[in-house]
């Protein structure tokens, strides 16, 4: 039994978002292809994702030194570590987000921070950093108002982070151009679903 982790970083629902409609379809098809697998969902807009701020940073430093931290810091640090463990326990990851101001939503950045942990997901080597996360797959689905073909900073960011961590099996699907060509919205979605279906064959 494998574990699929879905990281949902879109605040709307499938009735209002093409990206979430694609996610719903993906999840249904994945579940029928892999009925024995476990599917976990992290909703970065709904679930607690501790932002990497001063109290959390201080808590991390204190924990390393064995210094006592206050209960609120301890709770946030525990949740942070829980997200790292959940990521490490998954076999495949799906990240889904809209493109906002050429970036991913900041809530997704907070989740990404939880999977970049020196000593656990990467390490510092004599010739640079070494990704420690091997054998996992990533599917990144992003909806863009315009057309960027993977060259926008958000798509590049997600690709770079997962490559940095050691991922070698990375797929990206862009549902893009609906704002530029609203009359083509359904056709754009259908084209993206064909790509997702193809990826599902080996995901």
Ligand X SMILES: Cc1cc2nc3c(=O)[nH]c(=O)nc-3n(C[C@H](O)[C@H](O)[C@H](O)COP(=O)(O)O)c2cc1C
CA distance 18 to 32: 21
> Hey, is 10 helix, strand or coil?
coil
Q: Is 156 in the site for ligand X (CB under 6 A)?
A: no
Length of the chain: 203
Among 62, 79, 100, 116, binds ligand X (CB under 6 A): 100
x/- string (CB under 6 A) for ligand X, residues 119-138?
A: --------------------
CA distance 16 to 137: 28
Shortest CB 139 distance to ligand X, Å: 15
Side-chain-facing half-sphere of 59: CA atoms under 13 Å: 20
Per DSSP bridges, beta strands 3-8 and 92-98 are: parallel
Among 107, 113, 121, 144, binds ligand X (CB under 6 A): 144
Which lies closer to ligand X via its Cβ, residue 55 or residue 145?
Answer: 145
Which lies closer to ligand X via its Cβ, residue 50 or residue 98?
Answer: 98
Q: Is 179 in the site for ligand X (CB under 6 A)?
A: yes
Among 31, 33, 102, 187, binds ligand X (CB under 6 A): 102
Shortest CB 10 distance to ligand X, Å: 6
> Hey, is 59 helix, strand or coil?
helix
């Amino acid at each position: 039994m494998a574990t699929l982790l879905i990281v949902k970083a879109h605040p709307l629902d499938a009735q209002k978002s093409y990206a979430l409609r694609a996610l719903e379809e993906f999840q249904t098809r994945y579940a029928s292809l892999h009925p024995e697998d476990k599917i976990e969902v992290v909703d970065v807009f709904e679930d607690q994702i501790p932002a990497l701020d001063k109290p959390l940073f201080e808590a991390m430093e204190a924990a390393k030194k064995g210094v006592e931290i206050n209960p609120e810091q301890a709770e946030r640090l525990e949740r942070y570590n829980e997200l790292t463990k959940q990521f490490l326990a998954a076999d495949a990851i799906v990240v889904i987000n809209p493109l906002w101001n050429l970036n991913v939503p900041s809530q997704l950045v907070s989740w990404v921070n939880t999977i970049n942990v020196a000593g656990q997901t990467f390490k510092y080597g004599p010739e640079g950093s070494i990704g420690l996360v091997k054998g996992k797959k990533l599917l990144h689905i992003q909806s863009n108002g315009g057309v960027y073909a993977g060259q926008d900073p958000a798509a590049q960011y997600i690709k770079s982070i997962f490559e940095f961590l050691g991922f070698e099996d990375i797929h990206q699907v862009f549902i893009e151009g609906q704002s530029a060509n609203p009359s083509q919205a359904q056709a754009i979605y259908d084209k993206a679903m064909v790509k997702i279906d193809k990826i599902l064959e080996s995901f």
